[in-house]
Amino acid sequence: MRLQGKAAIVTGSGSGIGKATAELFVKEGARVLTVDLPGKDTGLEIDIAADGAPKTIVETAFKQFGRLDIVVNNAGIGSNQLAEEVEREAWDRVLAVNLTAPFLICQAAIPHLRDSGAGRIINVASVMAEGTDYGLSAYCASKAGVAGFTRTLALELGKWKITANYLLPGAIRTGMTTPLWDARPDVADIWAKKSVLRRLGEPEDLAKAALFLASDDGAFVTGHGLNVDGGLMLRV
């Protein structure tokens, strides 16, 4: 088992990518604090953007496990409004959940990851960190920010053998996307055809990528954005 004896935090683990990642990590021997909003049936039910939440998340994991080796910041929200129509409250909420909270969780976790001797930070960004589309100004800004601060963490934390990487998911079946695609199979088909592999991604595709980066297999990979998009961005 590739994560035997490791302790991890996975946010947004009530469904989709986060749930698949947490389940795979447990299967590979890790102890995992699952985190999601109240009502999501996870180990810690909390809004990651609430005041003090990042510190609470890290402290809860350390209290339960006595160590912390892996942080997976997966929780996020979508946004779809033209730039001139985005209300300040909506903009602030997207950046708070997708960018500020993951940064603060990483910041709180650094002392424990330093003690691990093989700490791992895996942040879930999006192919829209490097691309864009109509109505995605807030979302793209938040995900580009995730990529930027993750690269900086890799630079700053490498001397403690902590790696920091980010995933760039493409069109993935998640709790957010599946209802839309079930209601509009034509839209799902369009996105599937944009992938050079001619299919939508599954949460397990991202979980396997996260496992690689979290394990010893990924020990010499840091500051990297790993596209898990079925070749979607090759067509952009």
- Average pLDDT along the chain: 95
Query: 0.85 cut: is pTM over it?
Result: yes
Contacts of 27 (CB under 8 A, 6+ apart): 1
Instruction: Please say if 166 is a catalytic residue.
Output: no
- Name the more confident of 79 and 140: 140
pLDDT, one tens digit per residue, over 219-231 is 999 999 999 999 9
pLDDT at 76: 95
Domains and CATH numbers, the chain: 7-173+202-230 (3.40.50.720)
Q: Shortest CA distance to 68 belongs to which of 57, 79, 78?
A: 57
Q: Shortest CA distance to 200 belongs to which of 214, 213, 208, 190?
A: 190
Checking phi first, is residue 66 left (phi over 0); if not, alpha (psi -120 to 50) or beta? left
pLDDT at 236: 63
Of the residues 65, 103, 139, 191, only one is catalytic, namely 139
